[in-house]
Amino acid sequence: MITMEAKSKAPERNIYAMALEQLDHVAKVMHLDPNIHEYLKYPKRELTVSIPVRMDDGTLKVFTGYRVQHNQALGPSKGGLRFHPDVTLDEVRALAMWMTWKCSVVGLPYGGAKGGVIVDSKKMSKGELERLTRRFTAEINFMIGPEKDIPAPDVYTDAQVMAWIMDTYSMEKGYSVPGVVTGKPICIGGSQGRREATARGALYTMQEACKHLKMNLKGSKAIVQGFGNAGSIAAKLLSDEGVVVVGVSDSSGGIYNEKGLNVDEVIKIKGETGSVMHYSNASKVDRREILLQPCDILVPAAYENQIDEEYARKIHAKIIAEAANGPTTPEADRILHERGVFLIPDILANAGGVTVSYFEWVQDIQALFWSENEINNKLKEIMTRAFANVLKVSLDRKIDMRTAAYVVGVGRVAEALTIRGIYP
């Protein structure tokens, strides 16, 4: 008998190897210069640090942290920072590489970076978390900055963590530097619309996909796997557009009702209890099995490697919008494409977050801030243009949307590297 815990666990797979496999595939498709291909396989810079933290009980614990900068051909590197017990250096390398392509595909003047600390932050007090964050910032201080590398929130980090990073960096500089991070509280230089940006950007790509497929978004049925910031807001935005959200899940499990969930109520219950499983008017489903329930639109917004070959053969959705990074394996990609599932790849679907982070960075540098309406309009313009560019490549070359997105993203970075040349 398979327990729920065993069923829920995604297949083990090295995601850096997966990222390299995706790069190898697109290099063949676009006949990429072998020298440029070789260059792009490796991070530009990576750092591993020890982070000693005085705990509340007086003991000292040492945590391990990473910061990886994959590429800076288009500009300073940009990428989130995650606090999670399962963080690995290869995971951070892969996420940094994906950030390079993500920034490129939507036309941002950034390269990719990522950071991570191996820690179960849920078990830490606020004071311990602050001391961890500030010491980690001090250790990577020389690598980051508005002109070098700009961190942002990711898994189990938030605006408060970004505020501590900004303050620590600023204290060492001797003056306030709001542009060192994005995703900050608005009162210290954060941007309107940043919290909703990843989900809102994904919504814009789903709208464009529905137009292309001549499918009505309103009245369609959607499932969202993962009910953190991106997933819960995506569910809310879809519901507001008239989509019937029939299933959601979090780390505890999933809930499904073919007639639809009351998304506002689910969000309220999640906030009060910490889990969607306390919502009563729905069937309980395994957190990965939620991916296989009947729907028109599927939004993976959890972790990597959730959709493998087995799941790809069973998914009912017509559209998959990857709000998470790397939720689909290359083998599953091929199966979904053969089955005619329209997949909006992560480097396009969830690029709304880094796009509004870019807006925040620009606003900090100018000390001139925009309204939320201006932010959302600019975001929609960039996301719809990027979707159109990728769709055109997909149709012209007769290739799947992920490969098309990589052709656009890798192509722009390769062009920049070719023009800049190799130093010395």
Catalytic site positions: 114
Closest C-alpha among 335, 287, 341 to residue 310: 335
Q: Is the distance from CB of 329 to CB of 232 less than 8 angstroms?
A: no
Q: Is the distance from CB of 293 to CB of 223 less than 8 angstroms?
A: yes
Beta strand residue intervals within 70-214, DSSP E = 77-84, 111-118, 149-153
Residue 97 CB neighbours (<10 A): 27
Residue 175 and residue 237: Cα distance in Å, rounded? Answer: 39
Residue 405 and residue 393: Cα distance in Å, rounded? Answer: 8
Strand (E) or helix (H) holding 255: strand 253-256
Residue 64 and residue 34: Cα distance in Å, rounded? Answer: 35
Task: Give phi and psi for 28, each to the nearest 5.
Answer: -70, -40
Q: Which amino acid is at 113?
A: A
Neighbouring-strand partners of residue 66:
48, 116
